Structure 1
Amino acid sequence: MYCFSASWPLFRAGAGRTGAPAEEARPALVPQWNFTIQGEFVSSPVVYKDVVYCGGRDGSVWAWDGFTGEPIWQYSASDWVDATPCVSSDTVFVPSRDKYVYAFDRLGGDVKWTAYTGSLDCSSPLLYDGKLYLLSGAPERKAYAIGARDGSIIASYSISQFSFSSIARRENLLYFGTNDGRFSCMNADTGQVQWSVPTRGGIFYSTLACGDDAVYAVSGGDERRLFCLDPGTGDILWQSGEIVDPSDPVSSVVSSVALGEDKVFVASTVCDELKLFAFPLTGTTPVSPLWSTPIGTPHPAGIISSPAVAGNTIYVGSGNGFLYCIDSSSGQYIAPATGALTDTPTGYYLCYSASYSTGIVASPTVSNGRVYVGTSDGNFWALKARQATAISYPDNDETVIGGSEILGTAENPDFSAYRLEYGRGIDPASWTEFAAGTAPVSSGALGAWNAASLDDGVYSIRLSVNDGVFSRAVNRVTLNNAPRPPSGLTVADTLFDGGGNLTLSWNISGDDGTGDNDVAGYRVYKSSSGAGYSLAAEVAKGAAGYTDSSCPAYTTWYYYVTSFDALSESEASGVASGFSLVDGVEITPANGGTVRLESGGLITEVVIEPNTVAETVWVGIRIPESPTDEGIPVSAGATAITREFGVTPAGTKFLKPVTVKIPYRESDIAGMKQENLRIYWFDETRAAWRIVNTSDPLAESGRVWAQLPHFSLYRIMEYLPGREELLNADMAYSYPNPARGGTLAFKYYLGDKADVTVDVYNVAGELIAHIEKTGNPAGIVSEMEWNISGIASGTYIYRIEARSGSKTKAIKKKLAIIH
């Protein structure tokens, strides 16, 4: 329900505008520094990384060192700066009454951009999803969405009335009040108003607060009432009775809402008095205050300070110039000098002059055990709480890689010990202790959180002092550990490339597609000596390899690979090395060429005719060390003779078949028939060896030839006749079909050596052709040609019959001839 400790980057602490950081800062209060300007402070301070930012009615935006009060930078606008700034990691955003919104470099104060709104008064901005959201004051009636990077007006949405209320956010819903007494909810993605709740009161400067399950809002003016609203529908879950007696004719001014551990706090004028009210978070209409405490008098300007809740202490300013410290449980005063509870009104007087400008209308800010507030007489104060529990680093909503040192404050007059714990999520179901101490710490190191073994995600870090319920601080961080590294790196010569290339392969990270699934890619690092590595390449997630094309042949190169995500990089894989070989022959389109590999007196060849390739390629031959016996068909007897043919660039398509010649010795084919030798290729998609139908074992003694449309892994095997169907219908056909010109071919694959006849009939059943061929080999595609130059166009039926010993098989099919 509350914001977290560390930085207080916008009005009311966080996007929910709760005014309640999850840290403790309880009096006694000790002044740390004071700074005076020539004007009033209406703007409330914000704190980021221990730098305090605030606007002033001297027309300036100020940045001070949060510990010393030394000015870091100052910028003078053309008019007052009453709105509270909003600060991000690199930019400070704030509107001015000169009708511009300014964006400053956070550290140096240089103006990044300005955006014109046309309004003298604008609410304090909210940064969300790269856009700055704020409401315009008079005379405009708009909600602005401004590009945080360049100040462009992305959108302006009409609202029911002008407003000074600052926008609160819960997920993608924006909540605000307007000066016609309405509380509204707008969808940040669409700009559409989701709901609007009317009241009879006035909203003016009051800002809504987002709790766990409800949105809290207070109206002033003629209806002085606290509302608890459903965040999604705007339904009134409960409402209080009138905070001020309805018969009181004086219109009331109300503060923004603050949310504590179990209460809702709001300040309101009551006649000529100012009071702080406490209500329960839940209840049944009408809900009555748990307590109310006078906190001086209102400021004549009609603006009142809003309460800030730190643990069980409430800080709120008053028009009489006092900063009041109130116990959240009882509503009693806390003496600022001693920390003692008292029923006697007491506060810390922060104003020096007795004039109209005396008083406090700005809202106090609590960050890292310090209270910051500006006064109407131009004094800015930093007060340190002697009882403080705060985590300053890692800051709330920061991203942590691998863990972090935890910095902060653990101080208490009755100090005994502190404990650090972490839990998964925003509201952890359980906590794990990781560090502890028995000595107080003031803005220093509390312990170390080693989170390298934890899964990525949102974690809460909790600091507890003396095991107190209120002596706690909680920060929320996002853990984004470096992804796991790739493994199994190998480096090998890129085959058939003519030299100069090395192929790297690895097993992808365990966080690529699985685990945290946050790998964005891989980085390849390279060295010529095994030291002084430099980045060679980045490849996309899911990649399991990379080819380095800048490796002069016969030079050893060393590599390691890392994975990376959006923020961090993994440890290195193991180092692997390799060198490139000249193992390919250049083949040009015009000349073609022949590639030979001699091994043991046997020569393997690839013959590539001119105009077979469209561009210059490199072709090579390799003898694999151990060919797979997986997927050998039952109709084949394998030899150990294998060859791999390859081409670079990979995927090159041949424009016409190339001829390969694979040699063998008689001892390699012992017991086999030469006429049945075939070349088989390995089909990786099916994990099976498949016969090359153009195999020719008789073209040359001692070598099997074949014409190939592409390259793969090849092996000589003996086709074993009789183990397949004699004539396979799927592998018997006429080509082309339809046929044009002078000839067509009948092609067929036989499971055994056979004589084959083809009879062709016209549609009337008359025999018009008879062709036959004897001794057709098994395990190979054979064919017969038919001269069709004198055959009329039309549809014909043909019958192919194969005869082998006692086996006969015939099939019938159709063909068409077109002249």
Structure 2
Amino acid sequence: MKKTIIVIINLVYCSTLFCLSWPTIRFDYQRTGAKYEIAIPSSTPAGWEIEIQGEIVGSPIVKDDIVYFASRDNSIWAVDAYTGEVLWQYSTSGKIDCTPVVYNNYVYVLSFDGKLYCFKRHYSLDEDCIPLWTYDTQTKSISSPIIVDDEEIVGEEKNPWIIFVSGPKIDGIPYGKLYIIDAIAGSLIKQIDLGSFSYSSISYSEGKIYFTTNDGILRCYDLTTGEFLWTKKFSSCFNQTSVAIKDDKIYFYAGDIERTLYVLDKNNGEILWTIGPLSNIATDNNSIAVFEDKILINIYPTSLWEKNNIKYSSQSVVCISTITKQILWKKDFSAPRTPQQSYNITSAVSVCNNIAFFGTYDNKFYAVDILTGEILAEYSFSSPILCSAAISNGWIYFAEVSGKFYGIKLDKFLAIKSPDYNDVVINKTTTTLVSCGYENKKFYFEYYDFNNNSWIEITTGSIKNQNVFLWSTEDMIDGKYTIRVRLDNGEYVLNDVIIDNSPLPPTNLTALLVDKTKVVLQWTKSIDDSSGNNDVKKYNIYRSTDMINYGLVNFVPKGTTMYIDTPLGNTTYYYKLSSVDKHSESVYTSPMLIFVPPSEKPSVPEIFVVENFVRYISSSTIYLRWEQKIEEQINIVWYNLYRAVSLQDNFVLYDKISKTNSTVYYYIDVIQNGLTYYYCLT
């Protein structure tokens, strides 16, 4: 491997801490290819470059300071997002055109050797970089997987699913399947024959997946019911065409002979409107970008045109309005080409706040204002750029097909670093803003109240290279929220977060001893059980003997208000409960204590005698003595001493004598002269 730093940049004035991520192909599972982050390019590229010994056609992703990409040298790579330093690399037995995907602490990728690979996101220097598991599909697959962890789909307390569509069989049979795999264990959950293979990545929205196959069919599959809801047949032969989902609509470009943009109702597949043909000749299929009311498509023809014995390709980027359903502008990028230089892949447009980023077959990378079509930046390289760029925290990441991978620094940027996209916030979170070029500008940090259709201010401040502050969400209702950083000049950035505050604990805990052996715990359900946030999954029951060290005894499902425990006897126990939702646990209830007596009667004390007698004028003192074997002391808490002045009288409890660590016991009693006393000990 050859590594080159093309420009050393000063990182002092612009923060380069954890980046707002680009964790999957096309940024999100809706495959919109767009995000709300200010990303203004410089006129000349500055950053870093590494070169590997294999072509790169797959797209990169970014998560927590690490860029992941794969290549046709059979490898998946993890590199530092700001230096290009290789952190780890693993070689499979086949080329990789698949874009990896990150979920929690895992990275997944498909190889042409037929296997799905699961890796750790981080490997230490002394650790072998080997996959955690593989699943063999015996297919040449490119589809970038999605991971679904919705408990209404996968089940409560179950592992998430990883889902993808396979390419053709390794032996050449053009046959594909929909695969659903346990994302943690790597075991098969379900596979569905499709009749045709797919090189497209699945899109996901509200429990349903949408994907195209090579036979021209677009499918909608309900993960909850396990049934296909609808299919739609087109004339195009889809190749690496992921549909974009925004609100209740599906957007996609059917290249090949159709050359048409389609907009469908995502619920039933009905075609709402179309525009096309967008080219005079057949084109590659390609994924599109959808940002606010604009659609962007990078179109590349499958055939060439000739002038003065030179063959040219007429690549173009088209911007279409979702309101007027008309072309707003079209930009052509013609370049001399040979037929051998076509890969049937075109760099899909990536968008950040009205700026489109994409590569072309004329060895260039562009930044274009999507409002006007004006070229803002144009970078020249040595070979075509076929991947779609990942933009994150002031950097752009992409590769030349020749094997050179780049991290390019943006001139100005503003981003919400944390909480990251779709992060779960529990009660409070450290919020971090990172920027360059906006120093001392006043900002407003806000969230959107969907009930009142208004923005609610959380805090304000002055922009620095990095702003860090605490955001408490304890008074907010659980749900998905859009947060915003707004400047006085009207610029802003957005991010989506999921607030899942800890549930409220149960109340009115009581403990009752039944049959001298059973502890019956009863309580009132948490407010968040069947009401409130309605997200309690279970109740955890804890027990202690010292009120300090508590251990989990058991858990019971939501809706439960009683539990019976049968602990060992002769001990005082302390109980407390908590409510548990998907992501966190409530505070504990106040502890309840109860004594459980021994289950067996203790043995009778031995050698119970009057040890000594001292006579005085009107009274005397006696010393009582008895013994207890060490092995018989375990369950004893105290001794009961009874006394009577006649064998015909009832013995009355005279005193309780606490147990000591000794096996020999003494008790001193003062008695009156002239009376006879009888003692009984238990």
TMscore range, shorter length: 0.7 to 0.9
Question: 1:496 and 1:185 mapped to 2: Cα distance?
Answer: 59
1:307 to 329, 333, 349: 349
CA distance 1:550–1:193, change in 2 (3 Å): closer
Could you list the per-position Cα deviations for residues 513-546 of structure 1 after superposition, in whole angstroms to 9, with x for gaps in the alignment?
3322333343444444444444455444444455
CA distance 1:372–1:465, change in 2 (3 Å): farther
Could you list the per-position Cα deviations for residues 569-594 of structure 1 after superposition, in whole angstroms to 9, with x for gaps in the alignment?
222223444445689999xxxxxxxx
Give the percent of matched residue pairs that are identical in Structure 1 and Structure 2. Answer: 30
Are 1:135 and 1:167, in contact at CA under 8 Å, matched by a contact in 2?
no
Measured after TM superposition, the shift of residue 429 of structure 1 is: 2.2
2:272 maps to what in 1? 237
CA distance 1:496–1:290, change in 2 (3 Å): closer
1:290 maps to what in 2? 328
2:360 to 277, 300, 318: 318
1:70 maps to what in 2? 85
CA distance 1:197–1:485, change in 2 (3 Å): same
2:212 to 164, 177, 181: 177
Is residue 432 of structure 2 the alignment partner of residue 432 of structure 1? no
CA distance 1:237–1:576, change in 2 (3 Å): closer
Question: 1:428 and 1:381 mapped to 2: Cα distance?
Answer: 44
Number of residue pairs matched? 548
| TM-score using structure 1 length | 0.62
2:495 maps to what in 1? 474
1:206 maps to what in 2? 241
Measured after TM superposition, the shift of residue 419 of structure 1 is: 1.9
1:400 maps to what in 2? 425
Question: 1:194 and 1:377 mapped to 2: Cα distance?
Answer: 41
Question: 1:132 and 1:21 mapped to 2: Cα distance?
Answer: 24
CA distance 1:110–1:464, change in 2 (3 Å): farther
CA distance 1:324–1:525, change in 2 (3 Å): same
SS of structure 2 residue aligned to 1:265: strand
2:322 to 278, 281, 293: 281
CA distance 1:269–1:538, change in 2 (3 Å): closer
1:668 maps to what in 2? none
1:15 maps to what in 2? 29
Are 1:424 and 1:458, in contact at CA under 8 Å, matched by a contact in 2?
no
Are 2:449 and 2:456, in contact at CA under 8 Å, matched by a contact in 1?
no
The letter for the 2-side match of 1:368 is N
Question: 2:598 and 2:253 mapped to 1: Cα distance?
Answer: 82
Larger CA Rg, structure 1 vs 2: 1
- The equivalences for 1:138-537 within 5 A come to 139-149=173-183, 150-159=185-194, 161-188=196-223, 189-190=225-226, 192=228, 194-199=230-235, 201-245=236-280, 250-269=281-300, 271=305, 272-283=313-324, 287-295=325-333, 297=335, 300-335=342-377, 347-351=378-382, 358-413=383-438, 416-424=441-449, 429-442=453-466, 445-466=467-488, 468-469=490-491, 471-477=492-498, 479-491=499-511, 494=513, 497=516, 504-537=521-554
1:338 maps to what in 2? none
Measured after TM superposition, the shift of residue 505 of structure 1 is: 4.5
The letter for the 2-side match of 1:385 is L
Are 1:436 and 1:447, in contact at CA under 8 Å, matched by a contact in 2?
no
SS of structure 2 residue aligned to 1:331: coil
SS of structure 2 residue aligned to 1:381: strand
Question: 1:529 and 1:157 mapped to 2: Cα distance?
Answer: 56
Could you list the per-position Cα deviations for residues 435-459 of structure 1 after superposition, in whole angstroms to 9, with x for gaps in the alignment?
22212334xx443221112222222
CA distance 1:534–1:289, change in 2 (3 Å): same
CA distance 1:501–1:148, change in 2 (3 Å): closer
Question: 1:158 and 1:551 mapped to 2: Cα distance?
Answer: 56
CA distance 1:155–1:387, change in 2 (3 Å): same
Is residue 125 of structure 2 the alignment partner of residue 99 of structure 1? no
Could you list the per-position Cα deviations for residues 195-242 of structure 1 after superposition, in whole angstroms to 9, with x for gaps in the alignment?
21323x443233221122321121223332212122233332221132
Are 1:24 and 1:473, in contact at CA under 8 Å, matched by a contact in 2?
no
SS of structure 2 residue aligned to 1:111: coil
After the TM superposition, which of the residue ranges 110-119 and 522-531 deviates more from structure 2? Answer: 522-531
SS of structure 1 residue aligned to 2:300: strand
Question: 2:585 and 2:221 mapped to 1: Cα distance?
Answer: 40
Measured after TM superposition, the shift of residue 486 of structure 1 is: 3.0
Question: 1:27 and 1:370 mapped to 2: Cα distance?
Answer: 9
1:604 maps to what in 2? none
Could you list the per-position Cα deviations for residues 678-703 of structure 1 after superposition, in whole angstroms to 9, with x for gaps in the alignment?
xxxxxxxxxxxxxxxxxxxxxxxxxx
Is residue 68 of structure 2 the alignment partner of residue 53 of structure 1? yes
Is residue 569 of structure 2 the alignment partner of residue 569 of structure 1? no
Are 1:118 and 1:140, in contact at CA under 8 Å, matched by a contact in 2?
no
Question: 2:414 and 2:421 mapped to 1: Cα distance?
Answer: 15
Measured after TM superposition, the shift of residue 163 of structure 1 is: 3.5
Q: Which has the higher contact order (CA 8 A, sep 6+)?
A: 2
1:729 maps to what in 2? none
2:662 maps to what in 1? none
Measured after TM superposition, the shift of residue 116 of structure 1 is: 3.1
After the TM superposition, which of the residue ranges 224-233 and 182-191 deviates more from structure 2? Answer: 182-191
Measured after TM superposition, the shift of residue 365 of structure 1 is: 1.0
**Any stretches of 5+ residues in structure 2 without a counterpart?**
1-18, 124-128, 149-153, 155-160, 306-312, 603-682
2:46 to 31, 45, 48: 31
